[in-house]
Amino acid sequence: MDQLHSSLGEKIQIIKTGDHNHDAGPDFLNARIKVGETEWAGNVEIHVGSSEWNEHHHQHDSGYNNVILHVVYENDAEVFHQDGRPVPTLEVKKLFDQKIYESYQSLMQSAAWIPCENQIRRVNSLTISQWLHRLMIERLEEKVQPIILSLEENQNNWEETFYQSIAAAFGAKVNAEPFRLLARSLPVKILAKHKSSLFQLEALLFGVAGFLDEKFSDEYPNKLKKEFDFLKKRHQLPPIKKHIWKFLRLRPANFPTIRIAQFAQLVYNSIHLLSKIVESGNAKSLFQLFDCETSEYWLDHYRFDKISAKKKKRLGEDAIELILINTVAPFLFVYGKLHDDENLVSRTLKLLEEIPAEKNNIISHWKQTGVETKSAFDSQALLQLKNVYCKNFRCLECAIGHKILTAEKP
């Protein structure tokens, strides 16, 4: 690039760009810039036109007194600091191809589903594939933050943290928090003491969930209630409030009562669940692990005391896929990262490649744009792309956007 010059003709050298400021104040903080023969340390403000400095009243704001460079597309007005000093200004209008700017403006003004919907087919598959891989890592890193916080709350107890995460996953979006509260109120070490009895596990889970605090007609819930009355005294377990569980607008197969019964079966089959999952080799073995039925009572019930047509109630394939994608994969990823186990990190990515792509409106739209979606790895990355980048017009930070803006051929 040619030597940069300020609006007053002074040479400008960027030594350090500074840190992007996402809060109030100048756009970049702690920059180092040489103007003429003097090196300055301070902040950088960016505008389309220099006149925006006055429109935003920066000339009266002491927070902008330490701006050492005003970067603008067009220098359409001379601007000054609060004390009357002129603000060093760098105009970039003639420093790049005008076609790139016009392409960028076209993307920013696009009303299409994604800004580059009409151009994305020109981008080669290798660029898209590499970008999706990076986005998948980015999405996993975002998903592990709540896990790390939960791990700290549980004093680095991995089994307890995983148990709580899986419980929340069984609740799906609607009953995730009630399930999480249930798991926190009923530690996994207590369930481990009763791992040999599915009946006792159900008594503990339904009891602490608040579903046994009433009178019943059926024999089975009365037996559960009697058992829980004994176990809650033994383990000092106060039930949570039943009203927090949501049934409205849920399919009966997703009622919290059915999900609790399936969760009891999972615990019964695999009390040291995290260890089994870490040791599992592929998606097929994990599917088998989460292929949970209910106890016999629930074959003809969806709620206590309300009989229904007899039907097996297994955790559905779609539900298992969501648990693997949104809970198991992020957990394995952070477990591998914090234990310096790169093999486990790689296995996590491979696991997502073995799971079918999700089916939702966003993925359907991506298919219409011509972007291939083979697996959950792709669909998760595309969700990240749409929700984090496309929706916020972050085309300059996107590899696909960069390819389109620089007009490189596929």
What is the C-alpha to C-alpha distance for residues 36 and 92, in angstroms, rounded to an integer? Answer: 18
Per-residue pLDDT of the chain (410 residues; tens, 9 = 90+): 458 999 889 999 999 999 999 899 999 999 999 999 999 999 999 999 999 999 999 999 999 999 999 999 999 999 999 999 999 999 998 887 788 888 888 999 999 999 999 999 999 999 999 999 999 999 999 999 999 999 999 999 999 999 999 999 999 999 999 999 999 999 999 999 999 999 999 999 999 999 999 999 999 999 999 999 999 999 999 999 999 999 999 999 999 999 999 999 999 998 788 988 998 878 999 999 999 999 999 999 999 999 999 999 999 999 999 999 999 999 999 999 999 999 999 999 999 999 999 999 999 999 999 998 999 999 999 999 999 999 999 999 999 999 999 864 44
pTM summary value? 0.82
Query: DSSP letters along 102-170, please?
Result: HHHHHHHT--SSSTTTTTGGGS-HHHHHHHHHHHHHHHHHHHHHHHHHHHHHTTT-HHHHHHHHHHHHH
User: CB neighbours of 275 closer than 8 A, spacing ≥ 6?
Assistant: 159
CB 381 within 8 A of CB 133: yes
DSSP 86: B
Residue 2 has a pLDDT of: 59
What is the C-alpha to C-alpha distance for residues 163 and 190, in angstroms, rounded to an integer? Answer: 12
DSSP 214: S
Domains of the chain, residue spans: 4-95, 98-153+356-410, 154-328+339-354
Residue 409 has a pLDDT of: 43
User: CB neighbours of 392 closer than 8 A, spacing ≥ 6?
Assistant: none
Alpha helices in 280-385 (DSSP H): 283-289, 317-323, 329-338, 342-354, 361-368, 376-384
Q: How would you classify the pairing of strands 67-74 and 38-49?
A: parallel
Name the phi and psi angles at 260, rounded to 5. -65, -40
What is the C-alpha to C-alpha distance for residues 34 and 10, in angstroms, rounded to an integer? Answer: 10
Q: How many CB atoms lie within 10 A of CB 294?
A: 23
The one-letter code for the residue type at 75 is N
Q: Beta-strand (E) ranges in 237-354?
A: 301-303, 306-307
Class of residue 388 by CB neighbours under 10 A (exposed 0-12, middle 13-18, buried 19+):
middle
What is the C-alpha to C-alpha distance for residues 56 and 70, in angstroms, rounded to an integer? Answer: 13
105-133 pLDDT per residue, tens: 899 999 999 999 999 999 999 999 999 99
What is the C-alpha to C-alpha distance for residues 75 and 244, in angstroms, rounded to an integer? Answer: 59
Q: Would you state the structure tokens that stand for residue 15, as one six-digit string?
A: 């030594």
Residue 410 has a pLDDT of: 40
Q: Would you state the structure tokens that stand for residue 157, as one six-digit string?
A: 């107890």
